[in-house]
Amino acid sequence: MNVLWPRLLNSAYRKEPISSFAIIVGAVDAVIGGVDERWSLLAFGLGTVGVAIALRWWQIQRRQTELTEQPAKYFLPSHSSRPALPMLSSAKRHPPH
C-alpha cells in the first residue's frame, strides 16, 4: 500500500491538476479545522473538497460527451486519385559486375 499511494496520487494529479490541487487544499483545511475545533475552517475545507469533486465530475462528463459527439476523422481519402504504384520485380535489376 505504501508504494501504491504515491502512484495513485501522481496519476490523479497529472490528469486534473487544478481540481486535484483544490481537493488537497480543501482536505488540509478540513483536517486543520477538525483538529483545532474551528468549525468554520472545517466547513470551508469540506465545501472546497465538494466543489473540486463536482468540478472534476463535470469535466469527466463533458469529455465523454465530446468523445461520443465527434465524428470519425479520416486523414486519407477513401480511394486515391493517383494510380497504384507499379509492382517491383527483381527481373529488371542487373547484378553489379
Q: Tens of pLDDT along the chain (97 residues)? A: 677 777 776 776 677 788 888 888 899 999 999 998 889 999 999 999 999 999 888 888 888 787 777 676 777 666 656 666 666 666 656 666 6
- Please give the Cα distance from 48 to 31 (Å, whole number): 12
Phi first, then psi: give them for residue 92, nearest 5 degrees.
-80, -20
User: Mind spelling out the 3-state secondary structure of 23-77?
Assistant: HHHHHHHHHHHHHCCCHHHHHHHHHHHHHHHHHHHHHHHHHHHHHHHCCCCCCCC
Looking at residue 33, what is its pLDDT? Answer: 92
Residue carrying the nine cell digits 480543501: 26
